Amino acid sequence: MLKKRKPTTSGTRHQVIIDRSDLYKGEPEKSLLAKGHKKRQGRGFKGHITVRHRGGGVKKKMRIIDWKRKKRDIAGKVERIEYDPMRSANIALVIYPDGDKSYVVAPDKLEIGNKIMAGEKVEIEVGNAMPLKNIPIGIPIHNLELTPGKGAQMVRGAGTAASIQAKEGKYATIQMPSKELRLINLKCYATIGQIGNQDWKNRKLGKAGRKRLMGIRPTVRGTAQHPGSHPHGGGEGRSGVGMKYPKTPWGKHALGKKTRNKRKSNKFIIRDRRVKI
């Protein structure tokens, strides 16, 4: 649910935030916090910047998410739903009968007190995880594995959901949130339901300071830079790109250049996400 701020300052005039009044307000579960996690500020192991425009930001604690749903055929109770500063989706704390606790991504319509389970023969209910071979065609799913047993890798962002279009042989045809059609092994696990917090994409930060708190540093246009630091730079007065094609700061193609490894994943893609339907 979105909430518009009162225009008491320039920063709040157009600010639209997500209402978190219904989420848990206490500290996260201490046993499920990652130890030794630190910010890298966009730098690699040599200390050089490998990803630009990152740095600063408030200190965050990383929660350990159970992507593999290790507890099989044991029903866990949803104790509370929390905000996670590391991701767009909210998370749910699940407590099992033996006392074990785990965090899972909270799907839409999952409520406190609900029982969720993972296994081969579980019911088709929101929050339950099972192999693709047991999920009916057309049911919205998330937390999708690409390799059996590796844990969820796809469809993990707020408001996203995939669906099974067909099953043939040992593969299922999955329509991803990007409308890409991909073949995935029927033994791979997925969780029933659409991920909650759908309004996340509609929020408006309102000011540059919010971006800095998120650890995102400014991005300067190439045309505004010195010609020694960017191919688009230089010229008298305002100027456009002024060359055959837009370039990166290192002179490579900036638009339309495919970087995916063809040998590893292209054979499983039936329809590319860039194809207009």
CA atoms within 13 A of residue 185's CA, in its CB half-sphere: 10
Predicted pLDDT of residue 17? 94
Indicate whether 265 pLDDT > 70. no
Structure tokens at 61: 């604690």
Residue 7: pLDDT band (50, 70, 90) is very high
**Secondary element (H or E) of residue 59:** none
Question: Which is more confidently placed, 157 or 260?
Answer: 157
pLDDT band at 259 (very low <50, low <70, confident <90, very high): confident
CA distance 273 to 52: 26
- The average confidence (pLDDT) of the chain is 93
pLDDT at 144: 97
The dihedral formed by the CA atoms of 225, 227, 232 and 236, expressed in degrees to the nearest 10: 80
Residue 64: pLDDT over 90: yes
This model's pTM is above 0.85: yes
Average pLDDT over residues 26-49: 92
User: What residues does 94 pair with on adjacent strands?
Assistant: 78, 102
pLDDT in tens, 144-192: 999 999 999 999 999 999 999 999 999 999 999 999 999 999 999 999 9
pLDDT of 52 > 90? The answer is yes
Contact 175, 183 (CB under 8 A): no
Task: For the chain, give the percent of residues with pLDDT over 70.
Answer: 99
**Averaged pLDDT, 2-24:** 94
Distances (CA, A) of 76 to 89, 93, 96, 118, 130: 20, 9, 4, 9, 15
Amino acid, res. 98: D
Residues 211-238 pLDDT 10s? 999 999 999 999 999 999 999 999 999 9
In the prediction, which pLDDT does 1 show?
Answer: 86
The span from the CA of 262 to the CA of 32, in Å, is: 37
Domain 225-267 grouped into CATH 4.10.950.10: yes
240-254 pLDDT tens trace: 888 889 999 999 999
Predicted confidence band at 272 (pLDDT cuts at 50, 70, 90)? confident
Q: Lowest-confidence range among 20-24, 83-87, 210-214, 265-269?
A: 265-269
Please say whether the beta carbons of 130 and 148 come within 8 A: no
Domain locations in the chain as residue ranges: 225-267
Distance CA 235, CA 41 (A): 33
- 248 DSSP β-pair partners: none
Residue 260 has pLDDT above 80, yes or no: no
Q: What percent of the chain is modeled with pLDDT above 90?
A: 86
Q: Decide: 120 and 99 in contact? Cβ < 8 Å.
A: no
Confidence tier at 263 by pLDDT (50, 70, 90): confident
